Homo-oligomer: A and B are copies of this chain.
Amino acid sequence: MKSSSSSTGFSHLDATGNARMVDVGAKPDSVRVAVAVGRLTCDPTTIRQLRLQALPKGDVLTVAKIAGVQAAKATSTLIPLCHPLALTAMEIEFKIETDGIVVKATARTTGKTGVEMEALTAVSVTALTLYDMCKAVDKGMSIGGIRVVEKHKS
Interface residues of A (CB under 8 A from B): 1, 3, 8-13, 16-25, 31, 38, 49-50, 53-54, 56-60, 62-63, 65-67, 69-71, 73-74, 76-91, 93, 106, 108-112, 116-117, 120-121, 124-125, 128-129, 131-137, 139-148
Chain B, Cβ-Cβ closest to A56: B17
> In the complex, which residues of chain B have a beta carbon less than 8 angstroms from the beta carbon of A110?
25
Label chain A's interface by main secondary structure.
mixed
| A60 to B120 alpha-carbon distance, docked (Å) | 19
- Chain B residues lying within 8 Å of A53, measured Cβ to Cβ, are 8-10, 13, 17
Give the residue name and chain of the B residue nearest to A11 (CB).
B136
Q: So how many copies of this chain end up in the complex?
A: 6
B residues near A79, Cβ cutoff 8 Å:
67, 125, 128-129, 132
Expressed in whole angstroms, the Cα–Cα distance for A76 and B88 within the complex equals: 12
Closest B-chain residue to A7, C-beta based? B53
Most chain B CB within a 10 A radius of its CB, from A3, A59, A63, A143? A59
Complex: A77 Cα to B89 Cα, angstroms? 15
The 5 closest A-B pairs by CB, nearest first: A17-B57, A144-B144, A23-B89, A25-B88, A142-B147
Residues of B contacting A3 in the complex (Cβ-Cβ under 8 angstroms): 89, 91, 106
Asked if B13 contacts A60 (CB within 8 A), the reply is yes
Q: Which B residues lie within 8 Å of A133 (CB)?
A: 10, 12-13, 19, 81
